[in-house]
Amino acid sequence: MGVRSVLQRIHWLNLDVVAGAVLSAAAGSKLPDGRGEINYWALLSLGFTTWFIYTLDRLLDIRRKPVPNTPRHQFHVKNAPILWKATIAVGVLAAAITPFLPLSLIRWGLILTGVVALYLFMVNRLGLKSKWYFLKEPITALVYTGGVWGVAFATKADITWQDKSLAVMFGLIAFQNLLLFSWMETQEGKLSSPNFASIFREGLPKIVNFLILAALLTLFLSINLTEILPYQRRFAFTEILMSLALLKIRYDSEFFLINQRYRWIGDGVFLFSLWLL
């Protein structure tokens, strides 16, 4: 098995998404000065729950007929029995380490669990042509951001407005990422279900993307025009680089549509957090 094949399976197994979430939470935990406390139990819990949610969502997706004929979906169809067992095992492990987590994080986790359960119920009850699928991208971005920053802020007694702004920027980038994916899937013509871009066509997605970029730039300038610590500045610059990388994919779409490069690199932007550690 070659390197490309291994990386492809890592992507299909959502392990790159898990790594991005864990690294981002670890980087956020170090705010504001780069010496903040990292709760490793919380990071482990985040990794387990992120993989559990993403894999469960895909396994539920392939139970619907017809099964989308994409490599990701076919991989899950082929390996469904072992993936179901692994998902249950990871869910048990996530529950087992709950007593080691801060009480505030447990409460926040229960809220997010309710949102995820409602989301999965909704998605699996909707008809294949339902326009309510437009909620998928914003809800996923909200849950992903909530998990990452719930862990990052779990042990902080005082959170500055600059750190909160960095969390909001992260959420906007997560939404930008998912909007990009929905638009690229529409360009491919390989939709497994309706998405934000296919429902609203070109008009609204373009406006939302513009508003996201405007909000990111406003927050970035607001943070950097105040007296902040070097680590906060590095964090803000990193987030801007993440957004610019996603923008590059959109405006060079023909290149990134080849072999679904946009998915590899689009999910890979969350690994930029590694250089903050």
Model confidence band, residue 193 (pLDDT cutoffs 50, 70, 90)? low
CA torsion sign for 78, 80, 81, 83 is positive
Domain that holds residue 133: 3-276
0.85 surpassed by pTM = yes
Tens digits of residue pLDDT in 134-182: 778 888 899 999 999 999 998 888 899 999 999 999 999 999 999 888 8
Give DSSP secondary structure letters for 131-152: GGGGGHHHHHHHHHHHHHHHHH
One-letter amino acid identity for 232?
Answer: Q
Q: How far is CA 128 from CA 66, 76, 154, 259, 276, in A?
A: 10, 20, 39, 26, 42
83 against 122, higher pLDDT:
83
Phi, psi of 229 (to 5 degrees): -80, 155
Residue 89 pLDDT more than 90?
yes
pLDDT tens, 12-35? 899 999 999 999 999 999 999 999
Q: How many domains does the chain have?
A: 1
